[in-house]
Structure 1
């Protein structure tokens, strides 16, 4: 199954997959930044893109699912920020948005149908899209949630160190501003207490 087929089926199964709220790690890390141009990779139904646009960012929002992009555009119109967001469909393993951005955000860019090394290659292209002085923000799960006793499939969750190594950044052109493991309280699907551990990496391009 291709990435497009997988995610179209995923979004086709429900009228709304995500909450519509922005990812909390994005909010925490981006709220202090001055707005500029932003690239939201794997934007889904647009929660992050809409939050960014409402705070003055000019956003390019990217996803492989046309269904997700249509929903995101509808939600952006409802929120009054449609003019600030450009929606683009890309299979990021094959094509990538053009331009340089003050913020490139990859929030939980995990896919069960990704080929080996595919995510790392996408993140290297994400780093290449950061403008001088701009930020690359990568957040990812560090493991399965506490209630997932039996993993549904085999998957390696990379550490921040592994992500940083895979980016192959030139030391004199980049500075690591944050490398952190974050544990979040998160209820399980039945509403019982649980938690999930995530990794967050923020790097800034100097030149």
Structure 2
């Protein structure tokens, strides 16, 4: 969930309360402002890499990290997944919940930062993070939260914009060094994991929406072994 990244659980029919947010208020406010500035920030379509990589998986429990306006979450629910979707922006989650109601699907919405979310560890058959804006910390908290959410036998799918990791800080204050990139997560994988995909590929970019100008994806797909910790 990045704009061009230079961007307490609720059921689909319950309004979101700002007081229920768990995480840094400044981060929430920043993302709320980004969403409030536009009627729709993203394309409204599921991300292409997600659709491609999930095609051969048996639906189970999925955590959608940085779900934004809910296109991925709704698509996953429609295809049989039991979806928990989290985001720091209450504005985004209100829109996402509306899309889920319109689609007639149920999603468990979580208004929280990934590292603060009260989700059960090692409980998701798929953890999907599509272009997430995860802040880097000395203890690799976000990276470890992604890995820690995956159940034994489950899959982590992390997709990001190729070429961003090596860019210099931008004039608008965005510094790629502040964020988590797939290589940082891959570096933490141990013998409990099997890397199934780790590549750069042309992006299947939806029309419209922030970030549509990016042409290539970094795709990391790793499976946690059933005997893993």
* TM-score normalized by the length of structure 1: 0.82
Alignment of 1:103 onto 2:126: yes
1:154 matched to 2:169: no
Tell whether the 8 Å contact from 2:43 to 2:206 is kept in structure 1 after alignment. Answer: no
Deviations 1:32-71 (A, max 9, x none): 1111100000000000000000000000000011111111
Matched, 1:202 2:225: no
Where does structure 1 lack aligned partners over 5 or more consecutive residues?
145-149
Q: 1:119 to 1:140 in 2, by over 3 A?
A: farther
Seen in structure 2, the aligned counterparts of structure 1 residues 13 and 37 have a Cα distance that, compared at 3 Å, is same
What is the count of residue pairs matched by the alignment? Answer: 191
Kept after mapping to 2: 8 A contact 1:143/1:196: no
- Do the aligned partners of residues 70 and 141 (structure 1) sit closer, same or farther apart at CA in structure 2, a change above 3 Å counting? same
Please list the CA deviations of residues 61-87 of structure 1 after superposition, one character each: whole Å capped at 9, or x if unmatched: 000111111110100111111x2x101
Cα 1:158–1:61 change in 2 (3 A) is closer
- Given that 2:66 and 2:133 are in contact with CA atoms closer than 8 Å, whether structure 1 keeps it comes out as no
Q: Distance in 2 between matches of 1:174 and 1:198?
A: 22
Query: Is the alpha carbon distance of 1:138 and 1:122 closer, same or farther for their aligned partners in structure 2, counting shifts above 3 Å?
Result: same
Q: Which whole-Å CA distance do the structure 2 matches of 1:194 and 1:67 have between them?
A: 24
Map 1:108-147 → 2, pairs under 5 A = 108-110=131-133, 114=135, 116-117=136-137, 120-143=140-163
C-alpha distance in structure 1 between counterparts of 2:73 and 2:206, whole Å: 25
* 4+ runs deviating over 6 angstroms: none
Seen in structure 2, the aligned counterparts of structure 1 residues 80 and 188 have a Cα distance that, compared at 3 Å, is closer
Residue 55 of structure 2 aligns with which residue? 31
Q: Name the residue aligned to 2:96.
A: 72
Q: 1:140 to 1:120 in 2, by over 3 A?
A: farther
Residue 147 of structure 1 corresponds to none
What is the rounded CA distance, in whole Å, between the counterparts of 1:180 and 1:52 in structure 2?
23
What residue is the counterpart of 1:180 in the other structure?
Answer: 199
SS at match of 1:137: strand
- Name the SS of the counterpart of 1:2 in structure 2: helix
After TM superposition, the structure 1 stretch with the greater mean CA deviation from structure 2, 123-132 or 50-59, is 123-132
Q: Secondary structure at the match of 2:67?
A: coil
| Structure 2: gaps (5+ residues) | 1-24, 165-169
